[in-house]
Structure 1
Amino acid sequence: MRPELCRPVARPIFRVVHEQPGRLRLRGRALAHPCLDLAYLQALLEALPGVDAARINPQAHSLIIRFDGSAGTRRRLLELLADLPADAYRPDAVREQAPDPFRVVVSAMLAIATPLLPLPARRLVSWALALPTLGKGLDTLVSDGLRIEVLDASAKLLSLLRGDYFTANAIGALLDLGEYVEATSEQHSTDLLKRLLTPQTETVWIERAGVETKAALAEVAPGDILICGPGELIPIDGCVHSGEAAVNQASLTGESLPVPVAPGSPVLSGSVIHEGHLRIRVEQIGAETSMARVNRFLETALRTHSKGEVRSTQLADRLVPLTFLTGLGVFALTRDLSRAASVLTVDYSCAIKLSNPVAVRANIFAASRAGVLFKGAQALENLDQVDTLVFDKTGTLTTGAMQVADLIPFHGLDEPGLLALAAGAEEHYEHPVARAVVAEAAARELALPAISQVDFVVAHGVSAYVDDQRVLVGSRHFLEEDEGIDCTSADGHADALHAQGKSLLYVARGGQLVGLIALIDRIRPEAEQALAALKTLGIQRTVVLTGDHRDAGRALARALPGIDEVCWELKPEEKAKTVQALREQGQRVAFLGDGVNDAPALISADVGIGMPQAADLAREAAQVLLLREDLQGLVAAMAIARHTQRVLRRCAQASIGINSATMALAVAGVLPPVVAASLHNGSTIGILSYAALDGRKEWSSTPLASAAAALAPLSAGDATAPPRAEADDADIT
């Protein structure tokens, strides 16, 4: 579809042609737009409060809506239809009609009754039933060339010309059954869209001026106090103001066990209170909440196609002429219309073309239940091809919860003074190191100095002014090379702390080094097991990139034997260059990070993976988002990607194998047209059912080791991992 044809209608015109209480029937020229995504439009309409169902007939340009009959709902419906969002128009728009089981039943009954009818009635009924298929086949031949619709029409036409009306009608009934199953599979995606677009709650209880008031969710504003009790869904992002509760976050993180929360704990929209009562201070509402962002990611994922899906569609289309030419060749050699009709009923394209999107969508949705968000089918396909995994150290392999371990003041400054000075400068900087310094100062109940002219230098440090003196807090590189401050007086202390695997903050005031702050970061308890599981899944090389000093990197490598290489003291652009260098070596690279400074590397990798608490920029740059604060989500993401490709291979092999065998028997004259059509459609239904149902596998409760072991045969060819590099030789930049 040419892009210029996919521009939205300037003002869609829908007019009400019939109205009853609670029911509207409208006509609109927008329904003829070739890029209008009918599934998305239906989901939008049914997501409106008060709307029960919407049914679209694009051929008749007709739209039927059942709703609660209120004037407000009617007004909102007409306002939506008068100004459809641009998202409703897509070059690959879904144009299939909703599944119609009535048509399947009627065509099956008429096929069974065909031999019982007198010949004139049999002929009339058979041609009447065939006309829609013949018309569709002719239209497809003229507009798109040889496609599956041409094969279907040819098979029915040959049977009609032979006077074999039962075969013609039976083929039609089988085609209707196959189309119903295919449409039902497509409908699954529409149902997911409905679930994502439908608001979960419309009214809430809020506290204003000490009084609990029931209000519409749309009226809630940041700063309000929201009151929630057992069984209620939390519709906003916020912080617990008072109360304690157990909160189920399964819809967001895949974690099945309720999480205890108390005053000060963050809570996310989409969570459900298992027990207890909470008063929550509202921070984010509407489109800015976690659930809204998750829904947008999922919505995009379900509506986009990967290169693999495009390739499977192209392959399926190329196989149609093969079937058609085989049928013509059989007829030319045998003059047997029945044998030619049998060949034409066998089509490779249905199962190959449809199993890919069905399996991909099912597994993307399964991944979301396991706490993993894939931003589209391409991300799922790309992750399957990854053989090298690159980690940013802080917040990925480590918890990111840095803790102040040592304070080394100089030049007459004491420990509380050093800590207060650094915390004042770092107070407004959202970084694990900054949070650790500020938290330590708060724990010691230190009063922080007044700070002005704060300037954040990404991945380097912070500059601020205290009492007209410039204060710098950051790495040695930042202070010494960028700001020209002599740090050699601290070398003895720095070497001893580095040897312990600690990270250092250098603090300067008035152009003079006034102290060191040493911090430690705990390794995630599941990290070693996760790295082993990833190796089992076919990851050949694991690389850790860090801005920390060499000794901290070496200490991590010693603690985690699954690490092959470590690169230290890297700037953000150097991390991106390292990732690019690995790709230039022919490796398929995934990068896992969580900070603003990780965004360049996330974009440079074949697949960028963001941690749950990643900065907004990192979340936007990532193709895959983990929603659970541990590495089990990473293993689940890799396992699901591998599993999906295995399902797709099985579907393709089954389709080609079964249809090739069926065609060979049809060419040999062993199978009559009805049997050939039954085998073809039966295999298509079976393959699509396997693709859809296999996506229901539960990954969220699968342990790391067993998830990897279950898919170990997929990576048998990659079983030999490269030897682990020594830390001294690790720097590959």
Structure 2
Amino acid sequence: MFIRWINKAKKQITFLSGASLILALIIHYFGPYELRQAILVFATVLAGIPIFIKAYQAVRMRVFSIELLVTIAVIGALFIGEFVESAVVTFLFLFGDYLETRTLEKTRRSLKDLVDMAPQEATVIRNGETETIPVENVVAGDRIIIRSGGKVPVDGKVVSGQAFLNEAAVTGESVPVSKRNDDQVFSGTIVDNGYIEMIAERVGDDTTFAKIIELVEEAQESKSKTQKFLDRFANIYTPAVVVLSILVYLITRDLHIAITFLVVACPGALVIGAPVSSVAGIGNGARNGVLVKGGEMMDNLSKVDTLVFDKTGTLTKGKPEVTDIKTFGNYDEVTLLQLVAEAETISEHHLGQTIVKEAQARNLELTREPESSEVIKGGGIKATVGDYGLAIGNRKLMNAEGIHIPEEVAIYQINQEKAGNTAIFVSIDGAIAGIFSIADQIREDAKAALAEMRRNGVKKIIMLTGDNKHAAELVSNELGIDVFYAELLPEDKVKYVKKLKESGHVVAMAGDGINDAPAIATADIGLAMGEGGTDISMETADVVLMADKLSQYSHAYSLSKATIRNMKQNTFLAVGVVFLLLIGVLAGVINLASGMFIHEASVLAVILNAMRLIRFNKKNQEVKESLKAKLV
């Protein structure tokens, strides 16, 4: 109970101790010497209590802590009658701890801001009546109303109305996005203007927003390799300082120098420098719609020299459209579209869903469900709809099913692919019935993002796709990609990634997080793209982009390099300050109070240096790089 009260009152103890020091200074000039000494002892004991408690707890756990070193030093100062230094040291240590806590809170503000954005209430329609309930009481299937200025409480689909939503909390993009019927909306986003009704699909901890908060919390607790090394080093370094202090005393026979040596050698800045950089970097990413899953992932991302991309949904927009339907045999276009769309209702593949959307856009009624169906990995699907047996997919699927492809069909397929389309074969009852041509557009920011990543150190960019070689070649030439491989199965992508890693490359694989999940998991850094983030992308990838923009990947890559650079700066600063302080102590120019002051200043310096990452912005970085290039 007493320990808990002391921890809560630490701020008040710090400022009371500081006031006591000021009083002692005044009495030094105007009052009796004995009263000044008594006040200094009081200030030492008062500020020392929280430090002594932590030191005692560390001893019980058989750990050499910084508090233990300070406690030894303070007791030694009291023993030799250096009450001014004992009081100043305890006050500075507590005051430094207070400032560290305040500044560290700022580095974690991005997470706090995210938590504060979480919706608290929802307006639902139940039994024909409208009621406002706590968001935790919303269940899947509830119909929810959101008006202008309101927050979307859960994930779901718009069923009525139209509105512009600010999705910054999820994607990092502040430009409002138009939402209407059948569009997905995510918890934590805000209706900027308009009115929508939605059906709740994911509630509670299953919402995208809840998962983002969980991921950022876990990431900020995760340690980088540098942090792990520094933790191990501190466990050896701290007891070594005690031994060295004893040696200093044995050599100099000066207890004051030995105690000062003990204080200034505390590894405070060294221990805190890497974690605060990592937290600030991860926080910056979260605010910009980039989820980096921990310090180690940040470290690995900064070392990437080879980028591997999937094409569809990654380098392209992932919003393909049916550009042509060619029929062969006795089937007309509408009949074929309806049959294929009914079969594709069982598929989660984006090309299959494109065909379904095309049928819905033409107001075709998809009433029949496939009686039997099978998804062929890397090929397509087989299904029975009514009396028809369908095989829908690429040439590999047709060959595997033993379906003959007439010459005119093959010529049409090649011409469509050369024009940048993906050709989807449709066979009915063992004979080719048609080809669906589907095209996707390259992302507007793809070229600039890839160019920036090359400037930041990426040596090789490769594209692996299951699409045809003609469409792949068009995208590759447009974006200046070094090498591309087409018509690959998911396992083929894994083989290529493994081969790159075995040849010494540090590989990042970017995909949509669904069919690319095996390759994403195999790479040194797996990156998933998907608006709002899919379950599998969040689970498999090391980095998740929430806004479907390659410029976010570019930002993540630049941020990782800045974060690791910041960690190194903090480490060198901490080591340099300790080295200079120790020389100053042995030379007799640093005393206990000034040593503690400089020590605490170095701790604050590494924190403030890390806080620069909170404001890190790749656009500013681009300006600096262009100016640097001009100067050179």
The normalised TM-score by structure 1 is 0.78
- Tell me which of 415, 433, 438 is aligned to 2:333: 415
Q: Using the TM superposition, give the Cα deviation of residue 211 of structure 1 relative to its aligned residue in structure 2, in angstroms.
A: 3.8
Matched, 1:558 2:477: yes
Alpha-carbon distance in structure 2 between the residues aligned to 1:491 and 1:278: 47
Give the distance between the partners of 1:139 and 1:260, measured in 2 at CA. 56
Deviations 1:238-290 (Å, cap 9, x if unpaired)?
A: 23333332221111111122222233332211011222222223332222222
Where 1:153 maps in the other structure, the secondary structure is helix
**1:173 and 1:491, CA in 2 relative to 1: closer, same or farther beyond 3 A?**
same
Specify whether residues 537 and 712 from structure 1 end up closer, same or farther in structure 2 by C-alpha distance, changes over 3 A only: farther
Q: The residue matched to 2:516 in structure 1 has which SS?
A: helix
Alignment correspondent of 2:42: 125
Match of residue 445 from structure 1: 363
Q: CA shift at 1:123, angstroms?
A: 8.3
Q: Which amino acid aligns with 2:535?
A: D
Given the alignment, which residue of 654, 661, 682 partners 2:573? 654
Find out whether 1:508 has 2:427 as its counterpart. yes
Secondary structure of the residue that 1:144 maps to in structure 2?
A: coil
Is residue 40–residue 84 contact of structure 2 (8 Å, CA) maintained in 1?
A: no
- Which residue of structure 1 aligns with residue 150 of structure 2? 232
**What is the Cα deviation at residue 675 of structure 1?**
1.2
Contact in 1 for aligned 2:167/2:173 (Cα 8 Å): yes
Matched-pair contact (CA < 8 Å) for 1:134–1:153 = yes
1:107 aligns with 2:17: yes
Out of 464, 478, 494, the position equivalent to 2:383 is: 464
Structure 1 match to 2:392: 473
SS of alignment partner, residue 243 of structure 1: strand
Q: TM-score, normalised by structure 2?
A: 0.90
Deviates more, 1:219-228 or 1:515-524: 219-228
Unaligned regions of 5+ residues in structure 1, if any?
Answer: 1-56, 63-95, 716-733
Which of residues 59, 62, 69 in structure 2 aligns to 1:144?
62
Retained in 2: the 8 A contact 1:204–1:226? yes
| SS of the residue 1:597 aligns to | coil
Distance 2:441 2:545 in 1: 20
3-state SS of 2:472 partner: helix
Cα RMSD, aligned residues only: 2.9
For the pair 1:276 / 2:276, whether they are aligned, the reply is: no
Which structure is richer in relative contact order (CA contacts within 8 A, separation 6 or more)? 2
- Pairing partner for 1:350 from 268, 272, 277: 268
Identity of aligned residues (%): 29
Distance 1:136 1:212, change over 3 A: closer
Could you tell me how far apart the structure 2 residues matched to 1:304 and 1:238 are?
Answer: 31
Distance across 2 between alignment mates of 1:466 and 1:345 = 80
Aligned equivalents of 2:554, 2:9: Cα separation in 1: 37
Given that residues 593 and 611 in structure 1 are in contact (C-alpha distance below 8 angstroms), is that contact kept between their aligned partners in structure 2? yes
Structure 1 counterpart of 2:558, from 614, 628, 639:
639
Q: 1:423 to 1:136 in 2, by over 3 A?
A: closer
What is the number of equivalent residue pairs in this alignment?
618
Residue range with higher mean Cα deviation, 615-624 or 597-606:
615-624
Aligned counterparts of 2:235 and 2:575: Cα–Cα separation in 1: 14
**Aligned residue runs from structure 1 range 396-415, under 5 A:** 396-415=314-333
2:136 and 2:84 map into 1 onto residues whose CA distance is: 60
Judge conservation of contact 2:119–2:188 (CA < 8 Å) in 1: no
Aligned equivalent of 1:329, options 209, 229, 247: 247
Question: Counterpart of 2:595?
Answer: 676
Distance (whole Å) between structure 2 residues aligned to residue 99 and residue 310 of structure 1: 32
* More helix per residue: 2
Corresponding residue of 1:387: 305
CA distance in 2, matches of 1:133, 1:527: 54
Whole-angstrom CA distance in 1 between matches of 2:367 and 2:53 = 81
In 2, the alpha carbon distance for the partners of 1:135 and 1:650 equals 33
The structure-2 alpha-carbon separation of the partners of 1:196 and 1:529, relative to structure 1 and needing over 3 Å to count, comes to closer
**1:330–1:339 CA contact under 8 A, matched in 2:** yes
Aligned-partner Cα distance in 2 for 1:560–1:190 = 37
What do residues 638-664 of structure 1 show as CA deviations (whole Å, max 9, x unaligned)?
121111112111111111112211211
C-alpha distance after superposition, 1:207-248 (max 9, x if no partner): 345543333434433333322222211112223333332221
Instruction: Give the distance between the partners of 2:54 and 2:201, measured in 1 at CA.
Output: 55
SS of the residue aligned with 1:655?
helix
Q: Which one of the candidate residues 269, 289, 295 is aligned to 2:207?
A: 289
**Aligned twin of 2:258:** 340
Question: 1:38 aligns to what?
Answer: none
Residue in structure 2 matched with residue 49 of structure 1 by the alignment: none
SS of alignment partner, residue 223 of structure 1: coil
Deviations 1:672-725 (A, max 9, x none): 21111111112212222332x2232154xx54xx5456579999xxxxxxxxxx
Match of 2:468 in 1: 549
How far did 1:142 drift? Answer: 6.8
Give the superposition deviation at 1:534.
Answer: 0.7
